[in-house]
Structure 1
Amino acid sequence: MTAASRDQPGPAPVGLGAGYWRMFAADTVSSIGTVVSTLAIQFLLIDTLKADEQAIGLVRAAQWAPYLVFGLLAGVIAERVRRKPLLVAADLLGMTIFGAIGLLALAGRLTVPIVAGLVFVFGAVTCVSVAAYQSYVPRLVPERALPDAFARLEQMGQVVGSVGPVAAGSLVRFLSAPIAVLVDAFSYAVSAVVIATIRTPEPPIVRGESRHLVAELREGARWVYRHETLRPYAFWLHSWFVGRAMVMTVLVFYANQELHLDALTVGLILAAAGVSGVVAAGVAPRLGRRFGVGRVITTVEWVSPLWPVLVVLAQPGPGGVALLVVAMLLDGLTAMSASLMMTYRTAVTPDRLRARMNATIRTFNWGGLAIASFVSGWVASMWGSRVAMLAGAAILLVATAYLRRSAFRAAVLPVAA
């Protein structure tokens, strides 16, 4: 797309369809539950199981470690079966896993190794379900509607990000962390029922002359790492996940143990990212069309290495809380990148490769996250949480500078999108 064409009025709005809105509703419910359990499990580890930073890093690493083993296979599996039944089955398994964590905690039978084992199983399920989900959305909406479809999902995620932590903090403070985890289990059950009602037909599974597993894995990887703009984007995103994991693994522990903040206060602080994120995701499609996806993302991502530094500078007391809120508001601005990234990589990838493309990128994103989570917990236990978070900020700074100088900076959406 030329600069002149970006200034032309865009095509007429395209409806998103009933199937998309049911998927949107299901994702909203399960996302609320996920945000609730993410915070609840950390307080379950800290308060109930008396876990230290290293144990928290181990559990977080266990959740994402399956991507190192199954990540690339997930895309192939997702392309060989219907997306909808796979998503329903994944939600039902999520309900079972988090239900088990909550019930075992209430019974006093939960341990750190059990939590790690159960979240590992959940991570394996997530490998496949995320690959299916990201390639299912384009089947529910016209190609031209993809920017708006992903932007609305990102906006929803940011709204959930502002409501979920508050809900989680309230549940943990006034009921208990196990009850909060059970809320997530229930949300997966609701999501499964809603997805099962989607009536949008899926295209038939493509049965080529050869369905060799290794060949399919190579094809997906070649598409990502030989593409002029997807390659630098993927390398940056892998590094971004590593840097962010170094920060997020110890953030709640740091806020609770070093800044002496309770679950509700931590939830309220984390919710600030959702507030700014709603606005950022809302303006993302228009800015992406006007200035180009690459220019917008490479500009807004400079906040990624900045906000962790503000967190590190926080001290106990009202001033520290205010600094954390500012940091979270800055973090929320990266929601602008999130919706544009999904739109762009989906738009430039053929449908038959989308699940494998997403799985390839996710494998190294979340595989790196698993390793970084363990390293972050170890670094924090040896030298303190602030050192771990500063290391994450340094990685984010280098990654952002690399992306800014890469070919991705000139990336624009295809005309159809």
Structure 2
Amino acid sequence: MTSHGPAPATLRDSRGFARLWTASTTSAFGSYVTVLAIQVLVVDVLAGDAVDVGLVNAARWVPYLLFGLLAGVLVDRVRRRPLLVATDLLSAVALSAIPVLTAAGSLTVGWLGVLMAVFGLCTLVGDAAFQSFVPRLVPARLLGPAHARLDQSDAVAQASGPAVAGGLVQLLGAPVAVVVDAVSYLASAVLMATVRVDEPRGAAERRVRDIGPEIGEGLRWIYRHPTLRPLALSTHAWFACSAVAGAVMTAFALRTLHLSPATLGLALAVAGVGALVGSSVAVRLGDRWGAGHVIIAARLGTGTAWVVMAAAALLVPGGPVDGTWGGGRAWAVFALGQLLLGLCMGAENANEMAYWQTATPDRLQGRTNATRRSANRAVIVVAAPLGGLLGDAAGYGSALVVAGSTLVVVAAVSAATGMRPARLGDDHTRAPVS
């Protein structure tokens, strides 16, 4: 809860949330710049292939596989705001090393993977702390609107970040574009340091031997819960499919559709527009249809979006291509797929996050957030390189179709589980915790 006065009646009344929102928006803008810049750096600057893209993407998530469960225990044992400040600062340092190594002529795919692993460790702890910190600033009844607001600003960053990144990469080079993200993390750290909130000191003095039982308690809450279990398993599958699509997306756009970095950035920006629209109606959709129905429908749409993007290859003109636009119609179809992808992700995320946080007591927030995120990222570590291998062997468009079709099947299966009738405000008192 906030440190002064009664619980806020609206998000506007919460000064702490306003600063948290601003910090999140600032770092999100820089992150969308980096998403494009890193992949272009691998493909164009370091002359890597889809396997290299997959390996660099996977390196960012290796810490989730190695330290994810421990991070959850850490977040539940200590105050969460100092963790947010520290991880923002360390992220800025890791990202700043990329242009430094490039200027020295020492950057390789291997070193880039190492830096992404360090950045991933900061992201692991920072994201678990962030998601566990939001319920301390915002009352349960405002969590849906709070996540919708966060998603809206993230969507604006998504819409503008790739377009700016494309221009920066085109004019100044991919390493310079990464500097934008480093600065954004510094700004986020300063903003987070000024959020005023009463936090319990946690229980950092607990014994090391207690770590195992604490991890087990978090695992049982997720995987024995009648609704969270199918939701978690479905989300793991979503991340696997997304990792396959992400490993081939840039190579597909640059080499199959012949987009330039700038026009690829514009197409990715269309996804941001879709995400803004989707997040703007997410709360109303959840109230009307229920969180479970919205999540399932959004995942069906996400799988369809990847198939639509793959179809853009059918419209690439024959003969020489100048490499600046991708044939016009091909770019339009690819951007349409990005729009649908953004719409679905925007509508889904606020409902999913609000459901997780209202279904989980405060003492378990760190462990459940870190545990499920670690499982999701562990899936990426495996699926991203496999996606790159699939793209190189069968074609980038074929890999997109495989990812999209698989997710459609997973979403259809989810409709037959306890996930489908889930609504915010469900009674969770009978969920097993021991």
| Superposition TM-score, scaled by structure 2 size | 0.90
- Per the alignment, residue 360 of structure 1 pairs with 371
Query: What residue is the counterpart of 1:327 in the other structure?
Result: 337
CA-CA distance at 1:383 after TM superposition: 2.2
Q: Distance in 2 between matches of 1:223 and 1:343?
A: 16
201-210 or 14-23: which moved more? 201-210
Q: CA deviation at 1:350?
A: 0.4
CA distance in 2, matches of 1:100, 1:125: 15
Contact preservation (8 Å) 2:33, 2:177: yes
Question: For residue 187 of structure 1, what is the aligned residue in structure 2?
Answer: 184
Deviation at residue 320 of structure 1 after TM alignment = 0.7
Selected match of 1:38 from 35, 49, 60? 35
Aligned to 1:278: 276
The 1-side partners of 2:96 and 2:355 are apart by: 36
Q: Which residue is 2:310 aligned to? A: 312
Paired residues for 1:371-390 under 5 Å: 371-390=382-401
CA distance, structure 2, for counterparts of residue 302 and residue 180 of structure 1: 34
Question: Per-residue deviation at 1:346?
Answer: 0.3
Give deviations 1:32-67, integer Å, cap 9, x for gaps: 111101100111111111111111111111111111
SS at match of 2:59: helix
Give the Å deviation of 1:240.
0.4
Show the 5 A alignment for 1:17-416: 17-206=14-203, 212-315=210-313, 316=316, 317-334=327-344, 335-414=346-425
CA RMSD, 1 decimal:
1.8
Distance 1:16 1:113 in 2: 47
Rounded Cα–Cα distance in structure 1 between residues aligned with 2:205 and 2:262: 54
Cα drift, residue 204 of structure 1? 3.4
CA distance 1:85–1:208, shift in 2 (3 Å): closer
Residue ranges of structure 2 left out of the alignment (5+ in a row)? 1-7, 317-326, 429-434
Deviations 1:55-97 (A, max 9, x none): 1111111111111111111111111111111111101111100
Identity %: 43
Q: Distance in 2 between matches of 1:289 and 1:380?
A: 40
Per-residue CA shift, 1:293-343, capped at 9, x if unaligned?
Answer: 112222232111111111111132111111011101110122111110000
Shift in Å, 1:395: 2.0
For structure 1, the 5+ residue unaligned runs are: 1-10
Tell me the SS of whatever aligns to 2:303.
coil
CA drift of 1:287 comes to 1.9
Q: Tell me, in whole angstroms, the C-alpha distance in 1 between the residues paired with 2:112 and 2:426.
A: 47
Higher mean C-alpha deviation, range 282-291 or range 247-256? 282-291
- How many Å separate the matches in 2 of 1:143 and 1:12? 11
Counterparts of 2:58 and 2:307 in 1: how far apart (Å)? 23
Structure 1 CA distance for aligned equivalents of residues 280 and 308 of structure 2: 26
Higher mean displacement: 342-351 or 98-107:
98-107
Residues 30, 161 of structure 2: 8 Å contact kept: yes
Report runs of 4+ in structure 1 exceeding 4 Å deviation: 11-16, 206-211
Confirm or deny: 8 A CA contact 2:310 2:334 kept in the other structure: no
TM-score normalised over the length of structure 1: 0.94
SS in 1 for 2:420: helix
Tell me if the contact between 2:78 and 2:204 (Cα under 8 Å) persists in the aligned partners. Answer: no
Partner of 1:8: none
Distance (whole Å) between structure 2 residues aligned to residue 25 and residue 153 of structure 1: 9
In the alignment of these two chains, the number of paired residues is 407
For the 8 Å contact 2:309–2:335, the answer to whether it is kept is: no
Q: Distance in 1 between matches of 2:260 and 2:401?
A: 23
The CA deviation at 1:12 is 6.8
C-alpha separation between the residues in 1 aligned to 2:45 and 2:11?
A: 50
